[in-house]
A and B are shown apart, each in its own frame.
Chain A
Amino acid sequence: MSNQQIVSPLPGIFYRRPAPDQPPFKEVGDAVSVGNVIGLIEVMKSFHEVKSDKAGTIAQFLVDNEDAVMAGQPLVDLND
């Protein structure tokens, strides 16, 4: 079992939900495939989707909803 990570493509604020009143894109234990949206990054008042570039199962989120993140910062640990 090897671990992989999904990293933030941009600096900004990380959101796990498409809107405050909607469920998160993904939960721990969910399977993701390449191109799946796992969250949003808000940068300068515009929102950008964070898409997985790997396939696997979400082992844990490394940042909380609404945390500030840097470009390249790991957001999610994936298990194969």
Chain B
Amino acid sequence: MGIESLLVANRGEIAVRIIRAARDMGIRTIQVYSEADVDSLPVQLADDSVLIGKPPSTKSYLNIESLISAALDIGADAVHPGYGFLAENGDFADAVEAAGLVFVGPSGETIRRLGDKVTARSSADAIGLATVPGSAGRIDNLEEAKPILEEIGFPVLIKAAAGGGGRGIRVVCNQEEFDRLAPQASTEALTAFGDGGIYIESYIHNARHVEVQVIGDGESVLHFYDRECSLQRRRQKIWEEAPASCVPDDVRMRLCDEARNFASSVGYRGAGTLEFLYDSSTHEFYFLEMNTRIQVEHPVTECVTGVDLVRESIRVCDGNSLGRSQDEIVLKGHSIECRINAEDPANGFMPQPGTITELKIPGGPGVRFDSMLYPGYTVPPYYDSMLGKLIVWDEDRPSALNRMRGALDELDISGIKTTKSLHQALLKDINVVEGNVHTTFLDDWLSKANIQ
């Protein structure tokens, strides 16, 4: 018991965030880095650093063997995976524990169980948490689909069992279309994924993405309320808020309680997020999946609850109990996060690696910028394009929107193009201002709008 030194098995802004949390707790920090990250901010901030390999992540941040031997060589007693990279790799969690170190996250077994969509869904079914209505698993022929279609009604989505990233999805409005398109979808899935299995799901028109933050200590679980992340470009979140303005308070309580029950039912340890599709016309919510790690958008939850989620998750993974009750977690005000990416919105979101020549960071009450940037830093081309997250808090949503406008105006990143201009344009859109958005809103908006 008692983590004294923590190896940060990640990079970029989340590495900086983890180092800051660990430093506040009096824990020594060790930052791993690839050859491309020698000059990075987390390497400068950590107490120690270890070179683990070449720039491509497969040769560094995804190399389990290098990470474990770095941790053992330098005498770390815990490993934090951050998000992305190996954060949801059960084998990595197992390897960390097998090396006698603390993994800041759930067990490998829990990661695998919740990472598989079919077993996650059956865990939800087992405790009565609603999932999107549809076939229990794959359907093998049209006859098998008939009773399911009668039960859930049209429109439905036909999805490839082996698919991902939205590929191979068809929207079907009636039986005739279904009979025609289902065999096509199966053939296409076989060609694309080597597996012709398909399944069906009810199509929720204008669905919103709502999620619930939880932290468990392996025995009990607390929820930290909800977030909405409906503004997505090609299924990548770019803007998040807490709480979800589309969810009425009575539904919020039910949603958060059910999420908490689910996490309790699997004996969850660490920070996790349950993702839901939300139908704002009926106020029904449907469990999609659980992410078994800290998420990019955790700061909006920190702003509205006042709890340092990164510190809390390190504490519980170190064997401490949560040490507070659910009614001590109180929702206050409204928070918004805009992801600032190294992409040019005026040129098809072309990636923009390069050197930051000038940097002005906004400040004032309720303004936070989580980032790994500094003037003169060169953004390498090898990793994802996120440069930082601009987060604001205010007493209510209209004030928070206003504060975000001012903070974006103050933010100045020179040398490369960023998505700041996208957020400024979105803040002028009446639907965004009124919170009238859904998960395909931004893709539609981008196909119509001209942003400079």
- Are A and B genuine complex partners? yes
C-beta contact mask, A18-51 vs B, less than 8 Å → 1, else 0? 0000000000000000000000001111100000
| In the complex, B383 has a CB within 8 A of chain A | yes
- Closest chain A residue to B34, Cβ basis: A68
**How distant is the Cα of A42 from the Cα of B384 in the complex, in angstroms?**
11
Residues in B with CB closer than 8 Å to A66 are: 56, 58
| In the complex, A74 has a CB within 8 A of chain B | no
- A44–B56 touching, CB < 8 Å: no
Q: In the complex, how many angstroms separate the beta carbon of B368 from the nearest chain A beta carbon?
A: 24
- A44–B36 touching, CB < 8 Å: no
Residues in A with CB closer than 8 Å to B54 are: 68
- B342–A44 touching, CB < 8 Å: yes
Q: In the complex, how many angstroms separate the beta carbon of B413 from the nearest chain A beta carbon?
A: 15
Q: In the complex, how many angstroms separate the beta carbon of B410 from the nearest chain A beta carbon?
A: 25
Known: A10-B381, A12-B381, A12-B382. A43 touches B353 (CB 8 A): yes
Neighbour of A68 across the interface among B55, B351, B384, CB < 8 A: B55
Residues in B with CB closer than 8 Å to A13 are: 55-56, 381-382
| In the complex, A11 has a CB within 8 A of chain B | yes
**How distant is the Cα of A68 from the Cα of B383 in the complex, in angstroms?**
12
**How distant is the Cα of A42 from the Cα of B353 in the complex, in angstroms?**
12
**How distant is the Cα of A58 from the Cα of B353 in the complex, in angstroms?**
29
- A45–B56 touching, CB < 8 Å: no
**How distant is the Cα of A75 from the Cα of B401 in the complex, in angstroms?**
48
Known: A13-B56, A66-B56, A68-B36. A46 touches B382 (CB 8 A): no
C-beta contact mask, B340-383 vs A, less than 8 Å → 1, else 0? 00110000000101000000000000000000000000000111
Known: A44-B342, A44-B353. A11 touches B381 (CB 8 A): yes
**How distant is the Cα of A10 from the Cα of B354 in the complex, in angstroms?**
11
Residues in A with CB closer than 8 Å to B342 are: 44
**How distant is the Cα of A10 from the Cα of B347 in the complex, in angstroms?**
15
Please count how many residues in chain A sit with their CB below 8 Å of the partner chain's CB atoms.
11
Please count how many residues in chain B sit with their CB below 8 Å of the partner chain's CB atoms.
14
- Closest chain A residue to B343, Cβ basis: A44
- B385–A45 touching, CB < 8 Å: yes
- A44–B55 touching, CB < 8 Å: no
**How distant is the Cα of A46 from the Cα of B384 in the complex, in angstroms?**
9
Q: In the complex, how many angstroms separate the beta carbon of A68 from the nearest chain B beta carbon?
A: 5
**How distant is the Cα of A46 from the Cα of B56 in the complex, in angstroms?**
13
Q: In the complex, how many angstroms separate the beta carbon of B341 from the nearest chain A beta carbon?
A: 9
Q: In the complex, how many angstroms separate the beta carbon of B431 from the nearest chain A beta carbon?
A: 27
**How distant is the Cα of A35 from the Cα of B194 in the complex, in angstroms?**
30
Residues in B with CB closer than 8 Å to A11 are: 353, 381
- Closest chain A residue to B351, Cβ basis: A44
Q: In the complex, how many angstroms separate the beta carbon of A61 from the nearest chain B beta carbon?
A: 17
**How distant is the Cα of A53 from the Cα of B330 in the complex, in angstroms?**
61
**How distant is the Cα of A13 from the Cα of B56 in the complex, in angstroms?**
7
Residues in B with CB closer than 8 Å to A44 are: 342-343, 351, 353, 381-385
Known: A11-B353, A44-B351. A68 touches B385 (CB 8 A): no
- A43–B55 touching, CB < 8 Å: no
Known: A11-B353, A68-B36. A45 touches B384 (CB 8 A): yes
A42, A45, A66 pick with most chain B CB within 10 angstroms: A45
C-beta contact mask, B36-71 vs A, less than 8 Å → 1, else 0? 100000000000000000111010000000000000
Q: In the complex, how many angstroms separate the beta carbon of B59 from the nearest chain A beta carbon?
A: 8
Residues in A with CB closer than 8 Å to B351 are: 10, 43-44, 46
**How distant is the Cα of A34 from the Cα of B322 in the complex, in angstroms?**
63
Q: In the complex, how many angstroms separate the beta carbon of A39 from the nearest chain B beta carbon?
A: 15
Q: In the complex, how many angstroms separate the beta carbon of A19 from the nearest chain B beta carbon?
A: 11
- A43–B381 touching, CB < 8 Å: yes
C-beta contact mask, B226-246 vs A, less than 8 Å → 1, else 0? 000000000000000000000
- Closest chain A residue to B380, Cβ basis: A11
Q: In the complex, how many angstroms separate the beta carbon of A18 from the nearest chain B beta carbon?
A: 14
**How distant is the Cα of A71 from the Cα of B227 in the complex, in angstroms?**
40
Residues in B with CB closer than 8 Å to A45 are: 383-385
A12, A13, A66, A68 pick with most chain B CB within 10 angstroms: A68
- Closest chain B residue to A12, Cβ basis: B381
Q: In the complex, how many angstroms separate the beta carbon of A7 from the nearest chain B beta carbon?
A: 15
A12-B381, A44-B351, A44-B353 known; 15 new pairs, CB 8 Å cut-off, are A10-B351, A10-B381, A12-B382, A13-B55, A13-B56, A13-B381, A13-B382, A43-B351, A44-B343, A44-B385, A45-B385, A46-B351, A66-B56, A66-B58, A68-B36
Listed from nearest, the 4 A-B pairs whose CB atoms lie closest are: A44-B351, A11-B381, A44-B385, A12-B381
Q: List 8 A-B contacts (CB under 8 A).
A: A10-B351, A10-B381, A11-B353, A13-B55, A44-B381, A45-B384, A66-B56, A68-B55
